A and B are shown apart, each in its own frame.
Chain A
Amino acid sequence: GESVGLHLPTLSVQEGDNSIINCAYSNSASDYFIWYKQESGKGPQFIIDIRSNMDKRQGQRVTVLLNKTVKHLSLQIAATQPGDSAVYFCAEMPGGKLIFGQGTELSVKP
């Protein structure tokens, strides 16, 4: 069936370093992608989105890259801070509902 998967289940980085979280998606019809951050006991929080007519989109300290050829998404976090520690999910939207991956846990070491 349809799936969105993450290459790494856990990622540990030093405070101040850049983080890269990767994601593969399987549905070629998906035209909208979202990255969410989820802290313990909270609902997912929207970080950044990108539509299929773009390859790159930047926000505050975050950049999303989309490679439609290989169906790959990445989230780059610049100057990672302890407050960035959370589980990060990518999600694709092939029409209406979101399909989530399993998540990557980002741990930031002080």
Chain B
Amino acid sequence: NAGVTQTPKFRVLKTGQSMTLLCAQDMNHEYMYWYRQDPGMGLRLIHYSVGEGTTAKGEVPDGYNVSRLKKQNFLLGLESAAPSQTSVYFCASIVGWSPSMNTEAFFGQGTRLTVV
């Protein structure tokens, strides 16, 4: 049982290049999230999805796009990378929602992205 898997683990981009980060979960979870983590900033929510075919903006969505074409995959795209997007990116998933569920978020191992 792999849980949440992020691809790639490391990447160096030049300013202006594009790339896609892949998050895959094998737990049949409905909700998926993309965060970025910078020193002293905690985890900041970029985009999230509450089901296949749905996406929504988080706290820091500018410069990023996402897609959830399949339930198990959540893709994060950078169309034109900027040095300000240098960060560690984490994906997370939650089984779904009802007030009585004792749900927890499962995280991937992170993707360390450097934009030069």
- Is B a genuine binding partner of A? no
